[in-house]
Structure 1
Amino acid sequence: MSESSVWQSLAEVAFTQRWVDVDGVRTRVVEAGPADGVPVVLLHGTGGHWETFATALGPLSGRYRCVAFDMVGNGFSDKPDQPYEVPVYVDHVLGVMRELEVDRAHFIGMSLGAWVAARIAVSHPERMRRLVLMSPAGLVATQSNMARIRAERTKAVQNPEWDSIKAMFEHLIARKERRLPDLIALRQMIYRRDDTRATIDHLLALQDPEIRPRNLLDVGEWESIKAPTLVVASGADHGEYQTTARKVASLIPGAEVLEMPEVRHWPHFEDPATFNPAALAFLGRDDAE
């Protein structure tokens, strides 16, 4: 891939961005694809925004109604004064679906988004068609990883200079050329916002060793997921995420694994040529059933 901007992925994609009121939370939402298509809900990671899925929006929207948004407390959506625990995210996702009249959807989640999607699969299985989990969290609480994330993100918000934000992406994307300036600039805009600075502790609540454990899915809950599931194994990601991906794939009945050995935390963005066809093939099985 030779793109130097997310717009090279989006230039020929018909999509609509707007803000939707979800239980009082002004939420930044993007939709692409046929209005009557099977919905696919795309959930980003901690501190993320919908552009995380810029490289997937075009290919997926050729067949599906894609819904991507900045989750509560993240991106350019509202950031209410409360810790953002998994139930808060779940309520927000379900609220977006309600406002957009989406009853049931495929879910593609990355990191925090995978954690939230897995919780929805457990607690609201009637809303779930197929599930794609990338760099999944939600099984373990590793002190070192929580401390790393908290330190990186806090430093970036306290000092939102270009080099500070750019350094954060070294842990997200293995290949230097895929750490696009657009991504750094977007994250810099978000981290320079007054509401981001005011709520960074809320955003990092799940990195608190007293809070995280009560939000995790236990082994039995992972085993209870009935939605057909594809787990992406990112071979260059941090050890905790690699371990979690393998473990949840072994726990979820019938789960499949997509091996992507060269990528880090954003497999779909770093190697869309591998991820997009695999995701389309996996989701497409539902169409034939």
Structure 2
Amino acid sequence: MIAKLTKTYLLMIIEAKMVDEKFLQIDGNKIRYLESGNSDKTLVLIHGLGASAERWDKVMPIFAEEFRVVIPDLIGFGYSDKPLADYTIDFFSDFLKQFLKTANISNTFLIGSSLGGQISAEFTAANPDTVEKLVLVSPSGVMKQSTPALDAYIMAALYPNEQNATNAFELMEGSGESVDQRIVSSFIERMQLPNAKLAFMSTILGLKNAEIITKKLPSILTQTMLIWGSDDPVIPIHHADDFVSSIKDCRFVRMDGCGHTPYVQDPHTFSEKVLDFLDVN
């Protein structure tokens, strides 16, 4: 038993060393990010509304085998600072530009999920020379009406307790299966941080007031992959049509049996599809 425990402990240490937690400053705000891998090719992952860098923890080690993977906590979320500001899409797109510059990333492969997908799409449209290839995962930007799953998520953010958070994440997955309680407890912890609720609701208002993204999508000349869970209850899959028809070079992948976060529910299939598309060998 001692030998077994020792081996498990060593594996935990090894895994911990594979991921570095780092911080940088942007306009006086402390921004947290995770980094793994030592490739000369960089892959940046952008999380969604109310999430943090840990949302990508199931795919990060897979991608780190071929890339230097960098995952920021968006300003206003995770363990990055949450200044009093208008959290609009332009605000986030400008943040991403500053983050890449401050982190000395001049060219990158970029993946964005949900809110992070909309941010990544808008950033790529405005900065085409920075992004090598783009992957969007059930991005926001075209859906103006809410859904029951999104309503439950907003409720969990405003009243972060175990019941509300569990209900929200189970609805978002759309599978009917139990959600990892670490996801629930981490969300509750983050939403109780100073200004977390203000940043969350400011972002919701910013999304509601934003212009529909379809007018900007034709400006994306970067090769793009769009991935959508077939059972996504947050942003239903029929919204994929607007992205596929508007982006000139867009490959569409439907992930059956997945909800809003296929990289959490089926990380190996997700990673396989993405790595095949990025094809950096």
Do these two structures clear the TM 0.5 threshold for a shared fold by scoring above it?
yes
Q: Which of 9, 20, 26 lines up with 1:22 in the alignment?
A: 26
Which residue does the alignment assign to 1:206? 206
Is residue 2:276 matched to residue 1:278? Answer: no
Is residue 2:80 matched to residue 1:84? Answer: no
Runs of 4+ in 1 over 6 A off after TM superposition: none
Is the CA contact 1:73–1:80 (under 8 Å) kept in the aligned structure 2? yes
Which residue does the alignment assign to 2:169? 169
Is the CA contact 2:106–2:130 (under 8 Å) kept in the aligned structure 1? yes
Letter in 1 for 2:243: V
Deviations 1:107-153 (A, max 9, x none): 111001110110011111011110111111113422x34x863x434
**Distance change (3 Å), C-alpha of 1:222 and 1:172:** same
SS, match of residue 20 in structure 1: strand
Is the CA contact 2:43–2:67 (under 8 Å) kept in the aligned structure 1? yes
Could you list the runs of 5+ residues in structure 2 that have no partner in the other structure? 1-10
Displacement of 1:89: 0.6
Letter in 1 for 2:61: G
Equivalent positions of 1:4-19 (< 5 A) are 11=15, 14-19=18-23
Please give the TM-score of this superposition, normalised by the length of structure 2: 0.88
- What fraction of aligned residue pairs are identical, expressed as a percent? 21
Displacement of 1:156: 1.9
Is the CA contact 1:74–1:203 (under 8 Å) kept in the aligned structure 2? no
**Distance change (3 Å), C-alpha of 1:11 and 1:124:** same
Is residue 2:45 matched to residue 1:42? Answer: yes
- Indicate the RMSD between aligned Cα atoms, in angstroms: 2.2
Q: Which of 60, 63, 68 lines up with 2:66 in the alignment?
A: 63
Greater mean alpha carbon deviation, residues 22-31 or residues 230-239 = 230-239
Q: How many matched pairs? A: 270
Displacement of 1:178: 6.2
Equivalent positions of 1:118-129 (< 5 A) are 118-129=121-132
Is the CA contact 2:161–2:188 (under 8 Å) kept in the aligned structure 1? yes
Is the CA contact 1:171–1:265 (under 8 Å) kept in the aligned structure 2? no
Is residue 2:46 matched to residue 1:51? Answer: no
Which residue does the alignment assign to 1:131? 134
Letter in 2 for 1:92: F
Q: Which of 237, 243, 250 lines up with 1:248 in the alignment?
A: 243
Is the CA contact 1:30–1:69 (under 8 Å) kept in the aligned structure 2? yes
**Distance change (3 Å), C-alpha of 1:200 and 1:108:** closer
Equivalent positions of 1:91-130 (< 5 A) are 91-130=94-133
Which residue does the alignment assign to 1:4? none
Is residue 2:75 matched to residue 1:75? Answer: no
Deviations 1:200-232 (A, max 9, x none): 432322343xx133xx3234x212211111111
Q: Which of 250, 262, 278 lines up with 2:257 in the alignment?
A: 262
Please give the TM-score of this superposition, normalised by the length of structure 1: 0.86
Could you list the runs of 5+ residues in structure 1 that have no partner in the other structure? 1-6
Which residue does the alignment assign to 1:3? none
Displacement of 1:238: 2.6
